[in-house]
């Protein structure tokens, strides 16, 4: 057997058998079918989550408001209660405005600064000093500032309950009457 014949024989030996190809095709079809089912279920879940949100934030609070109640006991023993929910999230495009507002209104200590390591709330001067030093010695760094979402939410709820004005767009304030059944 010459070298060319040996190469052809080796190539043929490396090919999967017809039975193996058939088995692989069957498993591949199972994967396709399973992926399609997952996509369908995810779409159904998304729709049902939206339906639940609409019931909790619109339909049930509206029915309770029409009845003039915010808490009611049902014949089944369950309770339905409507509460105001206030949440906040600083949109990226308003981050500088929101942070300036916090600093100018005496709440700069809510801002957490990071330079590769986490610094505590209110450590802005330390972060700036470290950044200046890193620039001085030509060492690249990345600085980030943030307000933790729970801290921000608590701050916004407190300020609003005290009647203080907050730029709602800059702080992404979300208010909703939300019903819960327990």
Q: For position 8, what pLDDT does the model report?
A: 66
Tens digits of residue pLDDT in 92-145? 999 999 999 999 999 999 999 887 656 778 888 888 888 888 888 887 777 788
CA distances from 62 to 54, 66, 151 (A): 11, 6, 30
Q: Which residues of the chain have pLDDT under 70?
A: 1, 4-5, 7-13, 116-118
| Percentage with pLDDT > 70 across the chain | 92
Residue 9 has a pLDDT of: 65
Strands, sheet with 112-115, edge to edge from the N-terminal-most edge strand:
117-121, 112-115, 143-146
């Amino acid at each position: 057997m010459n070298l060319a014949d040996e190469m052809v024989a080796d190539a043929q030996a490396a090919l999967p058998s017809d039975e193996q190809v058939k088995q692989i095709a069957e498993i591949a079809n199972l994967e396709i079918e399973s992926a399609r089912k997952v996509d369908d279920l995810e779409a159904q879940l998304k729709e049902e989550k939206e339906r639940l949100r609409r019931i909790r934030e619109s339909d049930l609070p509206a029915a309770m408001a029409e009845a003039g109640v915010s808490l009611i006991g049902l014949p089944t023993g369950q309770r339905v209660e409507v509460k105001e929910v206030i949440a906040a999230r600083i949109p990226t495009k308003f981050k500088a405005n929101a942070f300036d507002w916090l600093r100018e209104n005496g709440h700069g200590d809510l801002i957490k600064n990071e330079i590769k390591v986490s610094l505590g709330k209110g450590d802005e001067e330390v972060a700036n000093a470290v950044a200046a030093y890193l620039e001085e010695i030509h060492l690249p760094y990345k600085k980030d500032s943030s307000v933790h979402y729970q801290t921000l939410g608590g701050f916004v709820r407190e300020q609003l309950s005290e009647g203080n004005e907050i730029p709602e767009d800059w702080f992404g304030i979300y208010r909703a009457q939300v019903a819960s059944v327990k």
